[in-house]
Structure 1
């Protein structure tokens, strides 16, 4: 008799715990916790931006343009050609210097677990690729 009571108590306890465990998984209010600072890299692209030309480009370009303009024509025509060459050379020199000062920026796009997205800029290659797991760190992101 003792054995039967112990057996039925054990079976009742087992049935109750199984029901409770099944109910915990079926609970519609039981949700996976979302990390608001965790996400995946969705894309990485390198953007090249031309720098700004400065005084050096203007001066060198103006001198070169003036010298070339001075080789054309004679008299007043030569003077006008010299001035036009200097102005054109200064303009060209500024833009040439700007193209020589190209900066690269790495743009990393992220989709967070909560559905938000963000894009972060890096002056140097962050060595992140599409699919990498990252987390927010201050105003930037780090692998994580």
Structure 2
């Protein structure tokens, strides 16, 4: 019976270490793009058989004109990145609490379950404490052909509803 208990303890310890290692991996930071269109226009290129001239290195600018139809504030929440400290502290606390329950094999199982549960809870607590809220703005523009284009920007600057604008390469310029 003693050998069975050691095997179970070893397997549960290995599972606990694997769970803690998985909880400690930092999530990649979200990349923010300024003035990214909400519905980007598809780029069209006509097929060319054999050009007789040297094409320019950069594509010509795509320009549209229109008016600002709406500006609205958007609050976004970015999930926090974890360092793994919350998972380790939570795992230790869970293991200590689980060790107080039962006896024999049940005590080993309770210790392992407490460690895994504590690691998950500790990781979530750390992530929630590092959550950031950001304010951005959605600028909706009605272009001259009647279509609407929306852009998410950090600040609308001096744009106001009704302003005449030029859209060039997915950037907004007040006219």
Q: Same fold (TM over 0.5)?
A: yes
Deviations 1:60-117 (A, max 9, x none): 22133224324525143344323311122123433443x23x3433210011233122
Aligned partner of 1:93 among 115, 126, 130: 126
CA drift of 1:141 comes to 1.3
> What is aligned with 1:12?
none
Deviations 1:7-63 (A, max 9, x none): xxxxxxxxxxxxxxxxxxxxxxxxxxxxx833211111222332243341xx12213
* C-alpha distance in 2 between matches for 1:52 and 1:70: 27
> What is aligned with 1:46?
73
- Based on CA coordinates, which of the two structures has the bigger radius of gyration? 1
Unaligned runs of 5+ in 2: 1-62, 101-106
Q: TM-score, normalised by structure 1?
A: 0.57
Counterparts in 2 of 1:1-144, with a 5 A limit?
37-56=64-83, 59-73=84-98, 74=100, 75-76=107-108, 77-97=110-130, 99-100=131-132, 102-144=133-175
* C-alpha distance in 2 between matches for 1:127 and 1:78: 60
Change (3 A) 1:69 1:125: farther
Unaligned runs of 5+ in 1: 1-35
Cα root mean square deviation, aligned: 2.6
> What is aligned with 2:46?
none
Detail structure 1 runs of 4+ shifted over 6 Å in the superposition. Answer: none
Asked whether the 8 Å contact 1:106–1:126 carries over to 2, the reply is no
Aligned length: 105
Q: TM-score, normalised by structure 2?
A: 0.48
Asked whether the 8 Å contact 2:66–2:164 carries over to 1, the reply is yes
CA drift of 1:143 comes to 1.0
